[in-house]
A and B are shown apart, each in its own frame.
Chain A
C-alpha cells in the first residue's frame, strides 16, 4: 500500500467513525462508547506491559480518580464538565508521578503487587471519605441527560489519541529506552538509560489516558461507588482486551475490545454465569492462540507488519 492511499483510508475511516452516531441506534452507540473506552485504556496498558515490562495491576486507581475528580469538580465546584475532565487528567498524571517514586523502585511482579495494594489503599480512603459520599457512593446528576451521541466523541477521541500515542511512543527515543528496559533493565542502565525517568514518563502517560477514560466513563455511567470505581476488574478487563487481541500490538486491542464488548452483551442475560463464560473463552483463545488473535491473523495472512502494529 502506498503511503498516500494509506492516509486516504485513515481519513475515510475517521469520517465514518465521526458520523457513526448519526445513523446507528442507541444500543450500538452505548456499545461503541464502551468499545472506545476499553480500547483506549488497553492500548496503553499493553504497551507498558509488553514493551517497557511495566505490568500494572493498579490502573483502576486512575479510573476511579478520573471519575471522582470529574464528578466532584463539576457538581461541587461548578467547573464546566469538559474542564473537569481535563483537570482530572492532569491530576491523574500528577498522581502517577507521585506513585512512581515508591512503586517504580519495585520490579516485575513486586511492582504489580505494589500497584494493586496502592489501589486498595485508595479505595479504602474513598470508602471513608464523606465529602465524596463515602460508602454510599456518588450520583453524578449533572451528567444526567447528556446523550450518547455527544459522549461518543470524547470516547472516540480518547481511543484515537491512545493509538497515536502508542505508535509515536514506540518510534520515539523514549520508546527505544523503554524497550531496552523491558528487555534487561540493568544492561539498559549501564548503557546510559535513566531507567527511572523513562519508566515514570511511560507510567504517567499511560495513567493520563486511563484517568481520562475514567472521566468519560463517569459521564456515561453517572454513578460512582468506591468498590466498583477502584475495582481490580477494570485492570483485569484491560488485560483481557490487550491479551486476547495480542499484547504489545496496536491492532490487537481493537479486536480484543470488540470481542470483550460483544461477549459482555451476549452473556448479559446469563447474569451469574457471564464471567465464567468469558473466562472460559479467554482460556480457549489463549490456549489456541497464545500470541493473541491479531498475531495469529497477521501470521496467517503473511502481513509482515512492522511493530508495533
Chain B
C-alpha cells in the first residue's frame, strides 16, 4: 500500500504542558483510521499539527513523501489535506452554498462557475442541497456538521481529517454519518483520519485505531485488539476496571 501520511516523533508543548509527545505512526492510501483518547489527550492538537495550524516543536509530518510540517495551512490544504472542526465553524453570514464554494474556489483552485456546480455536488453528497441558499447561521447542529464535511470535500482532499464528526448527532444521524464516512473513502478514494470520542462508533468502519493518552500514543491496531487492550481500558476507565 502507498503511504499517505507519516508522522515521525511529533512533539508539541504549550508552556509546561506537552500536548503531543513523541508520536509516530503511518497511514496508507484509502485507509480509514480512527484516533481515540480521553478528553485532553491531544487528539485535536495532533490534527492542528498535521493541518499546519500549529508548528511542531520537534518531529515532522510527511504527506505523500513530502515534508509538510512548517508549511502554512493554505498550502497544506492545496496539497490535499482537508479538515473539519469538532465545533462547526461555518461562515455564518454566507449561504450554505457559498460556504462550500470557498473550499472549491481556493482549496481546489476552481473558477467561480466550476466551483458552484462542484459545491452543489458536495452538498448533494451530504444531503444539504435543499438548504443551499439558506444563510449558514440558520443551520442546526447536525446540518452544520454536514456542512463541515461538504466544505472539506470541496477542496478535493486526498486525506480528510474529521474531528468528532458524530458528536451532537442523534442515533439515526450517527448511523447515516458512519455510512457517509465509508462512502467518502469508497466513492471518492479519500483517506480518512477520524477523531472519535465514543469508541464503539468506530466499529465496523475503521481499519485501524490509534489511541492517545496524555499526548502519547499508547496503542495502535485493529478495533478489536485496541478496544480490549488493558492500557486503553485503563486510560479510559481507570486501573480498577482492567480485568486480569
A residues adjacent to B (C-beta < 8 A): 172-173, 176-177, 179-180, 183-184, 186-195
Contacts and interface: CB of A to CB of B under 8 A. Distances in A.
B109 A184 contact: no
B72 interface: yes
A215 B85 CA distance: 47
B74 A179 contact: no
B42 interface: no
A180 B152 CA distance: 14
Contact of B105 (A173, A183, A184, A187): A173
B94 A192 contact: no
Contact of A183 (B72, B83, B91): B91
Contacts of B152: 191
Interface in B29-71: 51, 53
Given A190-B83, A191-B82, A192-B109, 18 more contacts: A176-B98, A176-B112, A177-B102, A177-B105, A179-B94, A183-B92, A183-B94, A187-B89, A188-B91, A189-B73, A190-B77, A190-B82, A191-B151, A191-B152, A192-B107, A192-B108, A193-B74, A193-B106
A176 B102 contact: yes
A192 B89 contact: no
17 contacts: A173-B105, A173-B112, A176-B101, A176-B102, A176-B105, A180-B102, A183-B91, A183-B94, A184-B89, A184-B91, A189-B74, A190-B82, A191-B74, A191-B82, A192-B74, A193-B106, A195-B74
| A-B residue pairs, 5 tightest by C-beta | A192-B107, A183-B91, A192-B106, A192-B77, A189-B73
B122 to A, nearest CB: 12
Given A187-B85, A191-B155, A177 B106 contact: yes
Nearest to B81: A190
B234 interface: no
Determine which residue in A188, A189, A192, A194 has the highest number of CB atoms from chain B within 10 A of its CB, and name it: A192
Contacts of B103: 191-192
Given A173-B112, A179-B94, A183-B94, A191 B89 contact: no
Given A176-B105, A180-B102, A187-B85, A192 B93 contact: no
A183 B93 contact: yes
B111 interface: yes
B106 A190 contact: no
A180 B94 CA distance: 8
B178 interface: no
A184 B99 CA distance: 11
Contacts of A173: 105, 111-112
Nearest to A184: B89
A190 B105 CA distance: 13
Contacts of B89: 184, 187
B202 to A, nearest CB: 24
B74 A186 contact: no
Nearest to A172: B112
Interface string B15-34: 00000000000000000000
Nearest to B99: A180
Nearest to B73: A189
Contact of B53 (A190, A192, A193, A194): A190
B185 interface: no
Nearest to B100: A191
Contacts of A186: 53, 73
Contact of A189 (B72, B101, B112): B72
A186 B102 CA distance: 13
Contacts of B92: 183
B108 to A, nearest CB: 8
A276 to B, nearest CB: 35
A179 B91 contact: yes
B132 interface: no
A200 to B, nearest CB: 14
Contacts of A193: 74, 102, 106
Contacts of B203: none
A155 B91 CA distance: 36
B78 interface: yes
Contact of A191 (B53, B93, B107): B107
A85 to B, nearest CB: 33
